[in-house]
């Protein structure tokens, strides 16, 4: 689909558990240095954040990613806090407004599906409302579908049937494969998918995604100290993406724009030093605990990225690292604050097979016997001044 035929707006609908029809609207405008995705839900900022994260994560495995436009998504209703089947509708609206998905009737698309791994493009079982036992559910669905076919009316308590009743002549209903009560329509307007690529008959791209986690000590004064993880997922860039900036394709859905920009600069600079990773990857970064301050996570981030791209061998256990740099383009690793507290946290939580990487400046001030204690736990330690020499 060329740029002149891509719609300026798109809508996708879902039916909530209480029977209300949710409409998600996506609009497209020139990015102009704005965020790639903006989401808005009245009086529900957490819901808007969840929608933004799902959409950004699902973009990782798209055939071609064009980030020149900003997509703005909104909901006309607010689903219940634990309800998530609307996520697929948000993702399809985002894809329709950018021309990635082009159904026959863009105004009549209903979707049901959620996932905890949208960056792999895989869906989990749809959350279908239940109405009694399995036999009663089957009878209810059969009666509802017959009623839809005959009169265009549907039981408001059955989400699939209600969606079918509202579809136009070329409308489609997309839902997660394996639903306990799959919808049935005589004209084949229902599509069960287990992954997003199935929308266009493509293979499951999850196996093309390499995801690696590293851990870094998160010090918060003692009570909530922990080893937090950062996960880097990389997906090979399509040649059609070559004209774009690889740095722009680095996404971290949990971070605000200023922190995202700092993360992008860190990875881009470290890959520049690598000399072998530029212009080849689309990248998604996730954090186990995204609410932290400081840059001591940078070494863990860079190492996870290098392992995901096959530039480092992973350890038998976890890779635990603390370090930052003002010159990642030169591969330099610099010291971070909180040495004593972080060393104590690492020695308490390190296990067999773990590899610990610390700044070279810490080597002279390590507590006596620290490395030997780690070795007794089956972990190894290296104090490094540069990456790529481990």
Express each pLDDT in 305-314 by its tens digit. 999 999 999 9
Q: How far apart are CA 75 and CA 54, in angstroms?
A: 14
Q: Looking at the structure, do residues 224 and 318 belong to the same domain, yes or no?
A: yes
Question: Which CATH number fits the domain that encloses residue 365?
Answer: 3.30.230.10
Write the DSSP string, 89-135: HHHHHHHHHTTS---S-TTSEEEE-B-S-GGGTB-B-------SSHH
Do 219 and 165 lie in one domain? The reply is: no
Give me the domain span that covers residue 231.
Answer: 209-384
CATH number for position 66: 3.30.230
Instruction: Give 229-285 pLDDT, tens digit per residue.
Output: 999 999 988 766 555 677 888 999 999 989 999 999 999 999 999 876 577 889 999
Query: Residues 180, 213: one domain?
Result: no
Residues 230 and 178 in one domain: no
Q: How many domains does the chain have?
A: 2
Residues 275 and 150 in one domain: no
Same domain flag for 186 and 266: no
Pairing of strands 281-287, 226-236: antiparallel
CA distances, 298 to each of 59, 60, 83 (Å): 24, 22, 35
Do 378 and 348 belong together in one domain?
yes
Residue 329 in any domain: the answer is: yes
Domain end among 200, 231, 261: 200
- Is 242 found in the same domain as 128? no
**Domain termination residue (choose one: 200, 220, 238):** 200
pLDDT (tens digit, 9 = 90+) per residue, 323-379?
Answer: 999 999 999 999 999 999 999 999 999 999 999 999 999 999 999 999 999 999 999
In terms of C-beta distances under 8 Å and separation of at least 24 residues, what long-range contacts does 104-108 make, across chains too?
Answer: 104/170, 104/172, 105/168, 105/169, 105/170, 105/171, 105/172, 106/7, 106/10, 106/11, 107/11, 107/168, 107/171, 108/166, 108/167, 108/168, 108/170, 108/171, 108/172
Q: Which residues, in sequence order, are CB contacts of 359 under 8 Å at separation 6+?
A: 299, 322, 323, 333, 334, 335, 336, 383, 384, 385
Q: Is residue 325 part of a domain?
A: yes
């Amino acid at each position: 689909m060329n740029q002149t035929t891509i719609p300026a707006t798109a809508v996708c609908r879902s039916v909530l558990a209480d029977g209300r029809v949710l409409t998600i609207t996506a609009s497209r405008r020139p990015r102009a240095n704005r965020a790639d995705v903006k989401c808005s839900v009245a009086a529900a900022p957490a819901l808007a954040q969840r929608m933004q994260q799902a959409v950004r994560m699902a973009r990782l495995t798209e055939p071609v990613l064009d980030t020149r436009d900003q997509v703005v998504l909104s909901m006309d209703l607010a689903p219940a806090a634990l309800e998530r089947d609307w996520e697929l509708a948000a993702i399809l609206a985002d894809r329709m407004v950018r021309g990635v998905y082009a159904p026959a009737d863009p105004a009549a698309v209903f979707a049901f599906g959620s996932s905890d791994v949208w960056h792999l493009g895989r869906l989990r079982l749809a959350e279908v409302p239940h109405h009694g036992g399995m036999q009663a559910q089957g009878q209810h669905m059969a009666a509802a579908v017959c009623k839809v076919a005959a009169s265009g009316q549907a039981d408001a308590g059955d989400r699939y049937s209600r969606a079918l009743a509202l579809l136009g002549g070329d409308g489609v209903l997309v839902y997660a494969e394996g639903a306990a009560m799959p919808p049935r329509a005589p004209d084949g307007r229902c599509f069960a998918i287990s992954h997003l690529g199935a929308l266009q008959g493509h293979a499951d791209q999850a196996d093309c995604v390499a995801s690696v986690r590293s851990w870094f000590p998160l010090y918060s004064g003692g009570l909530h100290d922990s080893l937090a993880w950062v996960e880097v997922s990389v997906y090979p860039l399509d040649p059609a993406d070559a004209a774009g900036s690889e740095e722009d394709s680095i996404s971290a859905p949990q971070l605000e724009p200023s922190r995202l920009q700092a993360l992008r600069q860190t990875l881009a600079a470290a890959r520049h030093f690598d000399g072998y990773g530029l212009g080849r990857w689309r990248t998604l970064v996730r954090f186990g605990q995204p609410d932290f301050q400081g840059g001591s996570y940078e070494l863990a981030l860079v190492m996870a990225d290098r392992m995901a791209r096959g530039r480092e061998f992973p350890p038998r256990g976890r890779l635990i690292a603390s370090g930052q740099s003002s010159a990642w383009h030169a591969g330099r690793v610099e010291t971070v604050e909180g040495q004593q507290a972080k060393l104590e946290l690492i020695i308490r939580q390190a296990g067999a097979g773990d590899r610990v990487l610390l700044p070279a400046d810490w080597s002279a001030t390590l507590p006596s016997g620290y490395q030997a204690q780690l070795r007794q736990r089956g972990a190894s330690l290296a104090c490094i001044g540069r990456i790529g020499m481990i």
